[in-house]
């Protein structure tokens, strides 16, 4: 499987301004969150990127993309019909090819030799199937994520040696009762579930499924139900990504993401010293 294209969704009502926020990246340079996401995407081997935005937002996103703007193709999400519809808006761009899908309200910090996106792309290419990044997440966080149930694929590690799972079920923001009944994965600690990481490699089948799920009325279409159908139609795996995801739309999310970038970057020692000084001053 050769993955050349990526789709980044950025048209959500509460999401649209988040990628425009600025942070100091691991290299010490000030960048927009969008630039950081684009750099991870391009460095993983992606050639073309579709950015799904609301009408009127193109210029702001073009400016925030910096030197990478030439890699972008903008598509407008004309109606607020949900996350699944946002992905579906890129169907003409995707065509008959598999693609990397990235959410724009998360930043990713790898704990391995390869970036989080690269881990996903290399594993999807090796397995030749759809693949979602997941992370073992405590039960209290279920209201914020889609989650999967399935079984461990024995003897088939990801690109950094992490675990792979065969996806059997997908639920968007499950209740603890739903998760306990349908999403328990053997081998995980009690009270933890495999929740989406914000990175997916999807096949064109997903676009076909989303098309089937488009309602006659203006009702929201979500991605997780389409992925549940995908799991029944073709081989679909989940990779436990070696890294962390940071939701910059959460309370203090931008602050936590900035700290994560700083503590994994070139200025780590200076940042740690300033943090210790701040804590000492506040508790003096």
| Measured CA distances, 103 to 100, 106, 111, 178, 185 (Å) | 10, 6, 20, 25, 25
Average pLDDT score over residue span 210-214: 92
Contact 101, 239 (CB under 8 A): no
Q: If residue 247 lies in a helix (H) or strand (E), which one and from where to where?
A: strand 243-247
For the chain, the farthest-separated pair of C-alpha atoms sits apart, in whole angstroms, at 63
Q: Are strands 72-76 and 48-53 parallel, antiparallel or unpaired?
A: parallel
- Residue-wise pLDDT for 4-60, tens only, equals 999 999 988 878 899 999 999 999 999 999 999 999 999 999 999 999 999 999 999
Q: Are strands 236-240 and 130-138 parallel, antiparallel or unpaired?
A: parallel
Look at residue 22 in the predicted model and tell me its pLDDT: 96
Contact 183, 194 (CB under 8 A): yes
The pTM (predicted TM-score) of the whole model is 0.93
Residue 145 has which token pair? 């994520």
Look at residue 284 in the predicted model and tell me its pLDDT: 62
The single residue listed with the structure tokens 């009502």 is 13
Name the pLDDT band for 215 (thresholds 50, 70, 90): confident
- Residue-wise pLDDT for 125-146, tens only, equals 999 999 999 999 999 999 999 9
For the chain, domains (ranges, CATH) are 5-268 (3.90.550.10)
192 - beta bridge partners? Answer: 138
The four Cα atoms 236, 240, 241, 244 give a dihedral, to 10 degrees, of 130
Look at residue 218 in the predicted model and tell me its pLDDT: 79
Closest CA to 45 of 104, 81, 1: 1
């Amino acid at each position: 499987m050769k993955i050349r294209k990526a789709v980044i969704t950025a048209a959500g009502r509460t999401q649209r301004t988040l990628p425009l926020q600025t942070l100091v990246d691991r290299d010490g340079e000030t960048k927009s969150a969008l630039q950081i996401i684009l750099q991870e995407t391009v460095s993983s081997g992606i050639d073309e990127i579709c950015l799904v935005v609301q009408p009127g937002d193109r210029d702001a996103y073009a400016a925030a993309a910096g030197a990478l703007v030439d890699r972008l193709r903008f598509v407008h999400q004309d109606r607020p019909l949900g996350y699944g519809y946002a992905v579906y808006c890129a169907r003409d761009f995707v065509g008959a090819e598999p693609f990397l899908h990235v959410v724009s309200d998360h930043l990713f910090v790898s704990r391995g030799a390869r970036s989080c996106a690269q881990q996903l792309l290399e594993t999807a290419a090796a397995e030749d199937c759809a693949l979602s990044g997941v992370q073992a997440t405590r039960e209290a966080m279920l209201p914020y994520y889609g989650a999967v149930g399935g079984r461990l694929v024995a003897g088939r590690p990801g690109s950094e040696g992490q675990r792979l799972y065969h996806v059997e079920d997908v639920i968007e923001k499950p209740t603890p009762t739903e998760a306990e009944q349908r999403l328990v994965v053997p081998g995980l600690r009690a009270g933890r579930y495999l929740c989406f990481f914000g990175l997916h490699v999807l096949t064109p089948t997903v676009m076909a499924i989303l098309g089937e799920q488009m309602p006659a009325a203006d009702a929201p279409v979500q991605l997780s139900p389409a992925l549940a159908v995908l799991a029944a139609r073709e081989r679909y795996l989940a990779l436990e990504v070696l890294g962390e995801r940071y939701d910059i739309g959460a309370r203090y999310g931008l602050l936590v993401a900035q700290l994560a970038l700083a503590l994994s970057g070139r200025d780590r020692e200076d940042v740690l010293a300033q943090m210790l000084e701040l804590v000492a001053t506040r508790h003096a």
